[in-house]
A and B are shown apart, each in its own frame.
Chain A
Amino acid sequence: MAEKMTGAEMVIQALTDQGVEHIFGYPGGAALPIYDALFQQEAVQHILVRHEQGATHMAEGYARSTGKPGVVLVTSGPGATNAVTGLTDALMDSIPLVCITAQVPTTLIGSDAFQECDTVGITRSCTKYNYLVKRVEDLPRIMHEAFRIATTGRPGPVVIDIPKDVQFALGEYYQPDHDTLRHQSYRPQVDGDAAAIEAAVDLMLRAERPIFYTGGGVINAGPEASEHLRELAELTGFPVTSTLMGLGAFPASHPQWMGMLGMHGTYEANLAMHDCDVMINIGARFDDRITGRVDAFSPNSRKIHVDIDPSSINKVVRVDVPIIGDCERVLAEMVRVWRSKTNQPRNEAIAPWWKEIEKWRAVNSLGYKNSDTVIKPQYAIERLYEATRKQGKDVFITTEVGQHQMWAAQHFHFDKPNHWMTSGGLGTMGYGLPAAVGVQVAHPDALVIDIAGEASVQMTMQELSTAVQYRLPIKIFILNNERMGMVRQWQDLLHGSRYAHSYSESLPDFVKLAEAYGGKGIRCENPAELDAAIAEMLDYDGPVLFDVIVEKDENCLPMIPSGKPHNEIILPDTANIGDIIDEKGRALV
């Protein structure tokens, strides 16, 4: 039964048994036996990246758009350290990754050998779990256990560090079953407590000003969770808002959708959060970008919190009804319990609440002054959204980090989960381009667009070469304002408009750069020509770097300013944002 093979072959065999079709990696001395095994098979396709950080973000994009784990293969030393940013990003955003790092032979560990680093030491705090495999006998068990840990409970990255001699060693391959896995201590709770779900539904049945506040947990729980959310929202008639990570779990075209909440969320979503009497948090974690001042956060509400991670409960905000469990299971149960108690939505009881929400909606907090001489970044995204709707293709959006990311979240609308990939928790500039590559690998026929800024995109620009090599027709839509726009906005807000190093100097000619890489470059600076240029980008069968020259000093609004509660949000018509924050605020971030 058991088959003799080398450690390197076991790695490939385990990947095959786990159903892995694509891995993202970069070879090096210590990883060569695994690369040799990879060369001699066809089940697993390897995507050669240009930098290991790119491999981790590609795997994140792949994972987020498919619901499957992303797999990374890198060499020892610098290969492993370069992967650290992506691992941390995946940990913060709960993305399932399995990252295989090669290590120097066991006999050399600790001797400061060439390309040696303490990978398990370095990645201990940026992974959900990590392993150093010292014996080939342990390798099959560890490979399979790593996939289980990465994908279950609150998902996250797992590192497997494999010394070169273990890759060469012969051993017997086996597939462990759940009982023979080493860590019997690892048993995530997936079913919510029945009494707590009952209490939550009772609270919802009495609510007069309720709101659903949903997060990335709904997406991680699979597409069924989004269906249950929609069902529950329609059963109850309650409004729904979402965090940045949760966009798409509830359709943006739905009349109960309120837009994103938080620092750059809509006026209606934030005011509804502030004034609600029952808050139903499904798979979100009360991040500081959401709560603003904690003592002024939704002061008069009873709070229900569904989360698979017990340590998220009461970490930031004290809640009244905690429910530990998988969002999909808990939502399904909430639907069942609600149905058992009533067959009516609470339309009448919450009608005054909706009336209030309509008043807030009428403020049109995402409005902006358009121009016919210069392209407004919001306008560019709106036009992109309209153009992509006509394509008849599945559309996936990734972003970098900054103003363009928030504008994309505000002005691009998502009706399905797993179609929006962004770096939320860690805020990693340079995430979007490689993430788009990963998404396109998983969905070769889809339209994949990285909405980028000219500063962020330069952090991982070299992955354009990967896109060209594998004929991945990603579109990189750069909102080029020659600024690190969000930094510039904060300097206006907090630092007397002293723009310390927040400008993009010596920018490359992005059109020539695209051509140098073997892709297509397009530049557009006239609003009247934008639609035609977008059409040209979408029509091109190959990677495109689209340089949209936009208004340089546009502010990203609305914004809950520093240290203020939700009801003190800055709206788009504010003339001078520099007067809003007081002296003491400048000491903080």
Chain B
Amino acid sequence: MNAHLQPTGSAYFITKETQEIERHTLSVLVDNEPGILARVVGLFSARGYNIESLTVSETEHGRRLSRITVVVIATPKVLVQIKLQLERLVPVHRVHDLTAEGASLERELALIKVAGAGDHRAETLRLADAFRAQIVDASVESFVFEVTGKPAKIDSFIALMQPLGLVEVVRTGLAAISRGPESM
């Protein structure tokens, strides 16, 4: 590890990162209690980890459990630390690295507002149909589409709407679950 060190004159050493960074989706099962989100997010900022996407909601009301889906970008060594540091938090039950554990499903929902008239409106509707986007609001000069899918699909739909009068976008962040019969 840490094969390359800059020459240093300090007991603190600055290491050059030699591992490639990777994007991983973690699923975190936590007690749904006040401050839990601050605890998780605070851990990331305090230890300098990067969050790409974060989704939180209660998933088992009876047991007051929430699932946090967090997408992180880090080297494999840091990813292991993130998992262990999360597991160290008192209200955290389990942490699964869905990316490392194999097949998982990832979905995101976006609401996309597009304004326009004439040919643009017709083109907007054709593309929305191709992406299976639902119209959830319509006026004479605008649509709001609801689109779900992998983040890449939403990215491309947004890119196509750009020249057709894209007004604004809101996205939920990623929800992910493993394939097969097992629970986390």
Binding site for B on A (CB under 8 A): 120-121, 124-125, 128-129, 132, 149, 182-186, 263, 288-289, 292-295, 309-311, 313-315, 318, 494, 560-563, 581-589
Residue of B nearest to A310 (CB): B84
Q: Which of B5, B38, B88, B91 has the most CB of A within 10 A?
A: B88
Which positions 96-141 of chain B face chain A at CB distance < 8 Å?
none
Contacts of A309 in B (CB 8 A): 88
Beta-carbon contact of A288 and B2 below 8 Å: no
A289-B11 CB under 8 A given contacts A129-B90, A185-B92, A311-B81: yes
User: Does B163 make an interface contact (CB < 8 A)?
Assistant: no
Beta-carbon contact of B46 and A125 below 8 Å: yes
Beta-carbon contact of B88 and A124 below 8 Å: no
What would be 16 A-B contacts, judged by CB atoms less than 8 Å apart? A124-B42, A132-B35, A182-B31, A185-B30, A185-B90, A186-B90, A293-B13, A294-B2, A310-B88, A494-B9, A560-B11, A562-B8, A562-B9, A563-B9, A584-B6, A585-B9
A263-B11 CB under 8 A given contacts A124-B35, A314-B77: yes
User: Does B3 make an interface contact (CB < 8 A)?
Assistant: yes
Contacts of A182 in B (CB 8 A): 31, 33
CA distance A128 to B11 in the complex (A): 28
User: Does B93 make an interface contact (CB < 8 A)?
Assistant: yes
Beta-carbon contact of A582 and B7 below 8 Å: yes
User: Does B85 make an interface contact (CB < 8 A)?
Assistant: yes
Known pairs A125-B46, A588-B8 / 13 extra A-B pairs, C-beta < 8 Å: A120-B35, A132-B35, A185-B92, A292-B11, A293-B13, A295-B2, A311-B81, A315-B81, A318-B1, A561-B9, A563-B10, A588-B9, A588-B10
Beta-carbon contact of B12 and A288 below 8 Å: yes
User: Does B34 make an interface contact (CB < 8 A)?
Assistant: yes
A562-B91 CB under 8 A given contacts A124-B39, A294-B2, A314-B80: no
A111 to chain B: closest CB distance in Å? 18
Contacts of B42 in A (CB 8 A): 124-125
Beta-carbon contact of B15 and A588 below 8 Å: no
CA distance A582 to B6 in the complex (A): 13
User: Does B167 make an interface contact (CB < 8 A)?
Assistant: no
Contacts of B88 in A (CB 8 A): 309-311
Which positions 28-53 of chain B face chain A at CB distance < 8 Å?
30-31, 33-35, 38-39, 42, 46
Beta-carbon contact of B87 and A310 below 8 Å: yes
Residue of B nearest to A187 (CB): B93
A284 to chain B: closest CB distance in Å? 17
User: Does B14 make an interface contact (CB < 8 A)?
Assistant: yes
Checking B10, B15, B80 against A585 with a beta-carbon cut-off of 8 angstroms, the contacting residue is B10
Contacts of B15 in A (CB 8 A): 294-295
Checking B1, B9, B90, B93 against A584 with a beta-carbon cut-off of 8 angstroms, the contacting residue is B9
Beta-carbon contact of B8 and A311 below 8 Å: no
Residues of B in contact, count (CB < 8 Å):
34
A183 to chain B: closest CB distance in Å? 5
Contacts of A585 in B (CB 8 A): 8-10
B58 to chain A: closest CB distance in Å? 15
Residue of B nearest to A185 (CB): B93
A502 to chain B: closest CB distance in Å? 18
Contacts of A185 in B (CB 8 A): 30-31, 90-93
CA distance A294 to B1 in the complex (A): 9
Contacts of A288 in B (CB 8 A): 11-13
CA distance A120 to B33 in the complex (A): 13
Beta-carbon contact of A589 and B81 below 8 Å: no
Q: Which of B1, B13, B31, B92 has the most CB of A within 10 A?
A: B13
CA distance A183 to B13 in the complex (A): 39
Contacts of B1 in A (CB 8 A): 294-295, 318
Which positions 56-110 of chain B face chain A at CB distance < 8 Å?
77, 80-81, 84-85, 87-88, 90-93
Contacts of B13 in A (CB 8 A): 288, 293-295, 563
Contacts of B46 in A (CB 8 A): 125
CA distance A289 to B81 in the complex (A): 21
6 nearest A-B pairs in the assembled complex, by CB-CB distance: A585-B9, A588-B10, A563-B8, A311-B84, A581-B9, A185-B93
Contacts of A184 in B (CB 8 A): 93
CA distance A125 to B45 in the complex (A): 10
Beta-carbon contact of B11 and A121 below 8 Å: no
CA distance A313 to B85 in the complex (A): 11
Q: Which of B10, B34, B81 has the most CB of A within 10 A?
A: B10
Contacts of A582 in B (CB 8 A): 7, 9
CA distance A584 to B35 in the complex (A): 43
Q: Which of A121, A185, A309 has the most CB of B within 10 A?
A: A185
B40 to chain A: closest CB distance in Å? 11
Contacts of A581 in B (CB 8 A): 9
Contacts of B80 in A (CB 8 A): 314
A301 to chain B: closest CB distance in Å? 14
A9 to chain B: closest CB distance in Å? 25
Contacts of A588 in B (CB 8 A): 8-10, 12, 14
Contacts of A121 in B (CB 8 A): 38
A589-B7 CB under 8 A given contacts A125-B46, A128-B90, A311-B85: no
Beta-carbon contact of A562 and B84 below 8 Å: no
CA distance A301 to B2 in the complex (A): 16
B2 to chain A: closest CB distance in Å? 5
CA distance A184 to B30 in the complex (A): 10
A577 to chain B: closest CB distance in Å? 12
Residue of A nearest to B29 (CB): A185
Beta-carbon contact of A149 and B84 below 8 Å: no
Residue of A nearest to B11 (CB): A562
Contacts of A560 in B (CB 8 A): 11
Residue of A nearest to B1 (CB): A318
Contacts of B84 in A (CB 8 A): 310-311, 313
CA distance A184 to B84 in the complex (A): 18
Contacts of B91 in A (CB 8 A): 183, 185-186
Checking A292, A313, A315, A586 against B9 with a beta-carbon cut-off of 8 angstroms, the contacting residue is A586
Contacts of A310 in B (CB 8 A): 84, 87-88
